[in-house]
Amino acid sequence: MSTIKVEVQLSSEELLKAVDQLSLPDLDQFVSQVLVLQAQRKASTLSQAEAELLLKINQGIPSDIQKHYEELMAKRQAETLTHEEHGELLQLTEQIEKLQAQRIEYLAELARLRRTSISALMENLGIQVPTYA
């Protein structure tokens, strides 16, 4: 992970500017760590099961997989995708769909624990329904 030397007290805005300097993989790792910290702080008000589900829900797609998928999608749009790359794209699409399906299962379990609907839970957590082109 990249290192940023900070020797002064920072406002939230200044901290955000420092975080903006991170590479995408480092930013993804940082965000994951911040989400873990947030979940730990909320753990006193959450059950262990809820805290674990929230961590799983917030994991997201690994940055290397997301990056490669986006590269292949760009090649597909540019109509420069090779037959081999098309196979890779199909495999990545399936892998991403499985990760998203697992996330939905975690959301459903958390909604069940909280006795609410998935859509109400997503709204409460600030989770947007993804839009696809």
Within a domain: residue 114?
Answer: yes
pLDDT digits (tens, 9 = 90+) for 100-109: 999 999 999 9
d(CA 121, CA 100): 16
Please tell me the least confidently modeled range out of 30-34, 48-52, 80-84, 120-124: 30-34
pLDDT digits (tens, 9 = 90+) for 38-78: 766 765 577 888 888 988 998 888 989 999 999 999 999 99
Within a domain: residue 72?
Answer: yes
Query: In the chain, pLDDT over 70 holds for what percent of residues?
Result: 88
Within a domain: residue 85?
Answer: yes
pLDDT digits (tens, 9 = 90+) for 69-93: 999 999 999 999 999 999 999 999 9
CA distances to 28, 63, 89, 100, 124 from 2, rounded to whole Å, are: 12, 16, 30, 29, 33
Cβ neighbour number for residue 72 with a 10 Å cutoff: 20
Within a domain: residue 6?
Answer: no
- The DSSP call for residue 14 is H
Within a domain: residue 2?
Answer: no
Query: How many domains in the chain?
Result: 1
Domain interval for residue 28:
12-125
Query: In the chain, pLDDT over 90 holds for what percent of residues?
Result: 44
Within a domain: residue 57?
Answer: yes
Within a domain: residue 98?
Answer: yes
| CA–CA–CA angle 110, 115, 119 (5° rounding) | 65
Structure confidence at residue 133 (pLDDT): 47
